[in-house]
Amino acid sequence: MRVVAALSGGVDSAVAAARAVDAGHEVTGVHLALSRQRAQHRAGSRGCCTIEDAGDARRAADVLGIPFYVWDLSERFHDDVVEDFLDEYAAGRTPNPCLRCNERIKFAAVLERALALGFDAVATGHYARLVGGDGGDGGEVELHRAVDAAKDQSYVLGVLDQHQLRHSLFPLGDTTKPQVRAEAERRGLRVARKPDSHDICFIPDGDTAGWLRERLGDRAPDVPGPILDDATGEQVGAHDGTLGLTIGQRRGLRLGRPAPDGRPRYVLDIEPVSGTVRVGPREALAVDGLVAGRAIWAGAAPDDGAVLDGDDLVVQLRAHGAAHRARATVDGPLLRVDLLEPASGVAPGQAVVVYRGSRVVGSATIESTVRGSAGASS
């Protein structure tokens, strides 16, 4: 096959490209320029897509002996990922930009361009496994969790549909991160010991609240407001703006009045328009159900009214969060999920990814949550 290897400048994408070459594919390395104002250097493990990263990607391609190009997708990344991130926060939701990048950039814009240029697939350094779809039998390509549970990235790939999965390669799905670094050393790749990137790539200093305040301006209310005890309604503190707070947060609340039992309080609810924040004990964060929209199915879409259940059905609510046993019902454009094991710190805007065993069934964007024990919703 003719394969585009997306080279980020990190060790994972470099080894993934090397394995695609070893598999006999005709591989071309492509680095994505996603920032309109790229920095010269990364700040340790923060950020990505710098000029330094582009140089690392080019050197990896040279070692592998494959052609190398830079594709400038900065405008589309800004419109489809950065602006979406701002719009979601302005609406009081908590988005995951990595899912949106995979959905609209890496496996939409990049794949579209690759197919238009005559390539057959895009290979990335994501930790996930593809099963089936060989031999032209028309069977579905299944997306599964990676062998390395600590590095598994199937959650952020849950936005991919069957067409995209058929044109994707994830060569690292059966490998652990230490094995990848050791392999990079053996291959003479200079990125073997390069730190992984963390946090949001377009906020390299990690100050999400400050970044949002600077760019949103009047688009979203961020006025100081009271912090109320959810049980009593008493004011126990004040905050400088809701953009700096998230559901489930405990640190940095500066509460002037401790809880009667001395236990820490957590953010339970944020009202961005009024600026009111409610806090309470950890158990009050427990969510028993949720309603999600924008469902994307990794295989054939279930019929309206279909119930997804069984001992092997679980949902995941964060990129590296726990799996929760659940029952899901398809209700027109919505997915209604009953959690058989309550989850904490769930907020609208996050993604719910449905698994059957290790296989990804599909994903949806959380619109509201239900706290059955408290009878509350958000």
Catalytic residues: 101, 201
Contact 6, 106 (CB under 8 A): yes
Contact 242, 225 (CB under 8 A): yes
Residue type, 335: L
Distance CA 329, CA 332 (A): 9
Nearest to 201 by CA among 82, 73, 320: 82
SS (H, E, C) 64-94: HCCCEEEEECHHHHHHHHHHHHHHHHHCCCC
Q: At what angle do helices 11-22 and 51-64 cross, to 10 degrees?
A: 20
Residue type, 358: S
Tokens found for residue 357: 């065993």
Residue 46 is given by DSSP the state B
Residue 108 is given by DSSP the state I
Distances (CA, A) of 197 to 46, 122, 209, 313, 367: 5, 21, 19, 31, 29
Give DSSP secondary structure letters for 337-368.
EEEEEEESS--TT-EEEEEETTEEEEEEEEEE
Nearest to 319 by CA among 151, 203, 181: 151
Distance CA 372, CA 119 (A): 50
Distance CA 57, CA 66 (A): 11
- List beta partners, residue 281: none
Contacts of 42 (CB under 8 A, 6+ apart): 48, 50, 52, 53, 197, 204
